[in-house]
Structure formats: C-alpha cells, structure tokens
Amino acid sequence: MKNFLARRLIFSLLSLIVASMAVFGLAHAKEDPINLFIQPGYFISPETLGALKAKWGLDKPLALQYLTWAGNMLRGDLGDSVQQSRPVTRILGEKWGATAKLALVAWIFGTVTGVPFGIISALKRGSATDYFVRGFALFGQSLPAFWVGLVGIWIFAVYLGWLPVFGSGAGLPFFEQVKYYVLPVLVLGWGPMAGYMRITRSAMLEVLDSEYIVLARAKGVSNSVVVWKHALRNALIQPLTIATLLLAGFLDGAVLVEVIFAWPGVGRVAVEAVNQNDFMLITGTVFLFTFLFLFMSLVADLLYTIVDPRIRYS
C-alpha cells in the first residue's frame, strides 16, 4: 500500500515537472516574448530594452528562466501578468470562485443524474427506456458545448423567457441566482453525465451477469435487494472513482461555457491570456489546470485503494 502511494506520488510529481516544462517552453517558443510588449513608437535604447528584459526576467537563458519560475512557483508566486501588471495568483484567485462554483454544481448534476440513468438503463436493458437513455447520452457526448449553449439560450432565454441569457447572477438573492446556473450547468454537465451513465450502465450489466448475483437470485433473494445491495455497491466503484477526474475536467473544461455565458471565471481569463499572449498568465493558468488534474488523479488512485481492496493488497 505504501509502495503504491509512493509510486503514484512520484509519478504525479514527474508529470507535473514535465507539464510545467512543456507549458513554459511553449509560451516562449515563438520568439523573444519581449517583442510582444514593446509598444510601437518607442525610442528604445539598448539600455531601456535591457532593463525591460531584466524586469521580466527575459535576459537570462531559457533554462535559468524556467528554474527561476519554477522556484517562485513552489513559493506560490506565479509571477505577474504582463498585460495587467498584477500577480497571476491574485488574478486567478479573484476568478477562481466563480469557476469552482459552476464546476461543483455541474459535477453534482452530472453525478446525481448520470448514475441513476445508468442503473435504469442497465435494469431495463434492451427496452425503449434503455434506448432512450442511451440516445440521450449519445447526444450529450457528441454535441459541442458551444452549440448546445447557444441553442439553449435561444430556446430557454429568448423564446420561452424562462432563464437569463448570460452572467452568473453574482450579488443577487440565492433563488434569483439559481436561474443563472441552470443553462451553464446543463451545458457543462450533459456530456459528463452521459459518461457517468454509460460507465454505470456497463458496470451494472457486468455485475448483474456475474455468478454471485445469479447465486443470490437462485437463493431467492428479492430483486430489490439484489440490485440495490449486492449489484449497485460493486458497480459504483468505477463511476465513483472517476468522479474525481470528472470534477477536474469540469474545472478545466469550463472555458467555452464561460465564454458563451459570459461567466466571470478562470476559463475567461485563460482565453484572454491566450488572445493577449500574456505568457505569464498563460503559464500560470495552464499550470493550475495541470496541477488540479494531477491532484485529482492522485485522489482517484487513493479512492481506488479504499473501495477496492484488491489494489491495496496487490
């Protein structure tokens, strides 16, 4: 068990280092980033240019720049945004709350709808209900989020007038604010919900076909006990462990949804940083996303060991 955990931790750290090198390298790949920020019309002397480069740490070799950046990062300093002249950690901190709230609600929505749909689909295998639920899941996984978002806005906000068009409703009373979450959560959660549903369904089908379930039925155990006590417990191992990865996916994957719904979160910051080629903000944002994903992967591994003793003892 300890070996397993140590191995996972080392792999996570290595992944983080490689990812940070890739992110940092790509942000500097085009050419000297200082060229992005020299304003047209400068009377720029070599001394001034040198001072500007020194300010941004661009006067050092790339490897040294990376090490400096990584060292600062370990101390929680992701540098200053070149466009905003503010600490990246502060910018991300300001926007993090909105993204986290949206991701969490979408995650809960995906989980509480996807898992039951998967169970129903498995129990009604081959029925019209099964086909309907699977078809619904297929659409959820194949339709692009931006398209679903726009169509949702036109149907539910413009024509029906039930929901607001954009924004997070920040500052409004709770029940007013709920309306602002409905469309973004549906758009963000539909695809992952479908993923949950499919995984739960296949896990349930596998368990329902297993010998111990056949034995339980042969012994006369009632259907509800077979399904809810024996089958579901075992079938839930997989969906519950991937739930952590899905949460990370929600946190990282809200970029398009945030842009469509003008949601003031980290995703919007990421888009704007790329548009502005703000390399410090890009590296900071991507590093945050990478860290979250690796952290959630580690949590998923730990959950596996808790819910599946075979991993602990292997």
* Residues at the contact surface with other proteins, assessed by CB under 8 A: 30-32, 35-44, 48, 52, 84-86, 94, 150, 153-154, 157-158, 161, 164-167, 259-262, 264, 268-269, 271-272, 274-277
Between 48 and 127, CB nearer to other proteins: 48
Q: How far is the CB of 123 from other proteins (least distance, A)?
A: 40
Between 161 and 220, CB nearer to other proteins: 161
Between 36 and 311, CB nearer to other proteins: 36
Between 182 and 311, CB nearer to other proteins: 182
Q: How far is the CB of 225 from other proteins (least distance, A)?
A: 50
Q: How far is the CB of 271 from other proteins (least distance, A)?
A: 7
What HEC string does the chain produce?
Answer: CHHHHHHHHHHHHHHHHHHHHHHHHHHCCCCCHHHHCCCCCCCCCHHHHHHHHHHHCCCCCHHHHHHHHHHHHHCCCCCECCCCCCEHHHHHHHHHHHHHHHHHHHHHHHHHHHHHHHHHHHHCCCCHHHHHHHHHHHHHHHCCHHHHHHHHHHHHHHHCCCCCCCCCCCCCCHHHHHHHHHHHHHHHHHHHHHHHHHHHHHHHHHHHCCHHHHHHHHCCCCHHHHHHHHHHHHHCHHHHHHHHHHHHHHHHCCHHHHHHCCCCCHHHHHHHHHHHCCHHHHHHHHHHHHHHHHHHHHHHHHHHHHHCHHHHHC
Q: How far is the CB of 122 from other proteins (least distance, A)?
A: 38
Between 81 and 241, CB nearer to other proteins: 81
Between 40 and 309, CB nearer to other proteins: 40
Q: How far is the CB of 293 from other proteins (least distance, A)?
A: 25
Q: How far is the CB of 41 from other proteins (least distance, A)?
A: 3
